[in-house]
């Protein structure tokens, strides 16, 4: 059912967006609309006016900038799930493939996932594990924030009035990446638990981002340090299944999950431990296992 009509501005540049927001401070930003319109249709939000980002070409697509990729705020999951970007940042491609349905992935954007800042937002733990930086633009100029600083709480962000997300800068790393998501359905499901593990062969580090287990995406720092220390970097292999198991345990200890209608805190902790162990075993396969890491999707 349609809500009472609200005017929609269709600016074509970031400057025009900022002007539109300055003119209409109550306006809501609309990207793919897959979160916003659900809220509007349910009567939980009643926009008085809307600023749409869909015609802003500089926010669309992605580009490579040295040893980083720059993801436009309006980059869709359809753009991320396969092709060159998925090859450069595999965990992001894997996460994109778990999101919604093909229809949702064609419309929904990474900027919208950040804007909503749900604990279950699937790209957030990946971006956290990648040390990705959120770029914003606003009346006071532009800012750069780590994802962990951008998300300040359950559905809360560090965005100031009149500010928008313009891009996400993702450092490129040499090494395997894994994203695992647990939900009670094989597709189209809100995450009960997410684990992203990213290896940096050059820096000899392991980064782990966890989702749906705390108000904000979690970095499992002590697990990361443990894995970096116990990995055999020369041979690119984790020493033993014990290390894999311990890594999972340490990841679980980094979480603060809750009981809700989707699952229980105990299950979430267990699932993080299991998924983190599996992810590590895929990115740093134990000695004697020479696969290509994780299972292929096709």
Tell me which residues touch ligand FAD (CB under 6 A): 28-36, 38, 53, 73, 98-100, 104, 107-109, 111-113, 115-116, 121-122, 159, 164-165, 188
User: Nearer Cβ to ligand FAD, position 132 or 164?
Assistant: 164
Nearest approach in angstroms of CB 62 to ligand FAD is 14
Binding residues among 33-52 for another protein as defined by CB under 8 A:
41-43, 46
| Site membership for another protein, residue 103 (CB under 8 A) | no
Q: How far apart are CA 58 and CA 75, in angstroms?
A: 10
**133 binds another protein per the rule CB under 8 A:** no
One DSSP character per residue, the chain reads: -PPSP--EE--SSHHHHHHHHHH-TTPEEESS-TTHHHHHHTTS---S-EEE-TT-GGGSSEEEETTEEEEETT-BHHHHSSSHHHHHSHHHHHHHHHSS-HHHHHH-BHHHHHHH--TT-THHHHHHHTT-EEEEEETTEEEEEEHHHHEEETTEE-PPTT-EEEEEEEE--SS-EEEEEE-SSSSS---SEEEEEEEETTTTEEEEEEESSSSS-EE-HHHHHHHHHHEETTTTEES-HHHHHHHHHHHHHT------SS--HHHHHHHHHHHHHHHHHHHSPPTT--S-SSPP--
Residues 76-95 that bind another protein (CB under 8 A): 94
165-194 footprint of another protein as x/- string (CB under 8 A): -------------xxxxxxxxxxxxxxx--
Least gap, CB of 188 to ligand FAD (angstroms): 6
113 binds, among ligand FAD, another protein, none (CB under 5 to 8 A by kind): ligand FAD
Which of ligand FAD, another protein, none does 70 bind, CB closer than 5 to 8 A by kind?
none
292 binds another protein per the rule CB under 8 A: no
Counting contacts by CB under 8 A, is residue 240 touching another protein? no
Which of 165, 182 has the CB closer to another protein? 182
Residues 263-282 that bind another protein (CB under 8 A): 263-264, 266-267, 270-271, 274-275, 278
Q: Indicate the residue among 94 and 136 with the shorter CB distance to another protein.
A: 94
Distance CA 84, CA 89 (A): 9
Whose Cβ is closer to ligand FAD: residue 86's or residue 238's? 86
- Judged by beta carbon, residue 46 or residue 57, the one nearer another protein is 46
- Partner that binds at residue 288, options ligand FAD, another protein, none, CB closer than 5 to 8 Å by kind: none
Quick one: which of 200, 143, 141, 197 has its CA closest to 167? 143
255 binds, among another protein, ligand FAD, none (CB under 5 to 8 A by kind): none
User: Which residues form the interface with another protein (CB under 8 A)?
Assistant: 1-4, 41-43, 46, 94, 97-98, 101, 178-192, 260-264, 266-267, 270-271, 274-275, 278, 294-298
């Amino acid at each position: 059912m349609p809500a009472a009509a609200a005017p929609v501005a269709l600016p074509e540049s970031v400057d025009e967006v900022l002007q539109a927001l300055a003119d209409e401070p109550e306006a809501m930003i609309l990207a793919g609309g897959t979160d916003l319109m659900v809220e509007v249709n349910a009567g939980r939000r009643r926009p008085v006016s809307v600023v749409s980002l869909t015609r802003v070409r500089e926010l669309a697509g992605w580009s490579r900038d040295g040893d980083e990729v720059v993801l436009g705020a309006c980059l869709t999951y359809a753009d991320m799930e396969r092709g060159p970007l998925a090859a450069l940042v595999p965990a992001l491609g894997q996460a994109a493939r778990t999101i919604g349905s093909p229809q949702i992935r064609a419309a929904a954007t990474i900027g919208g996932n950040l804007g909503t800042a749900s604990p279950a937002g699937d790209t957030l733990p990946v971006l956290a594990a990648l040390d990705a930086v959120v770029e914003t633009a606003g009346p006071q100029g532009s800012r750069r924030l780590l994802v962990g600083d951008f998300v300040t709480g359950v559905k809360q962000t560090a965005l100031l009035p009149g500010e928008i997300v313009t891009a996400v800068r993702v450092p490129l790393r040499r090494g395997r990446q894994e994203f695992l998501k647990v939900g009670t359905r094989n597709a189209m499901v809100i995450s009960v638990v997410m684990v992203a593990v990213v290896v940096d062969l050059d820096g000899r580090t392991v980064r782990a981002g966890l989702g749906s287990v705390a108000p904000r995406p979690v970095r499992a720092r002590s697990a990361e340090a443990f894995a970096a220390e116990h990995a055999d970097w020369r041979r690119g292999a984790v020493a033993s299944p014990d290390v894999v198991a311990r890594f999972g345990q340490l990841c679980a200890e980094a979480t603060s999950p809750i009981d809700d209608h989707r699952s229980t805190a105990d299950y979430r902790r267990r699932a993080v431990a299991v998924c983190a162990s599996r992810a590590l075993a895929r990115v740093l396969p134990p000695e004697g296992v020479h696969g290509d890491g994780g299972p292929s999707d096709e």
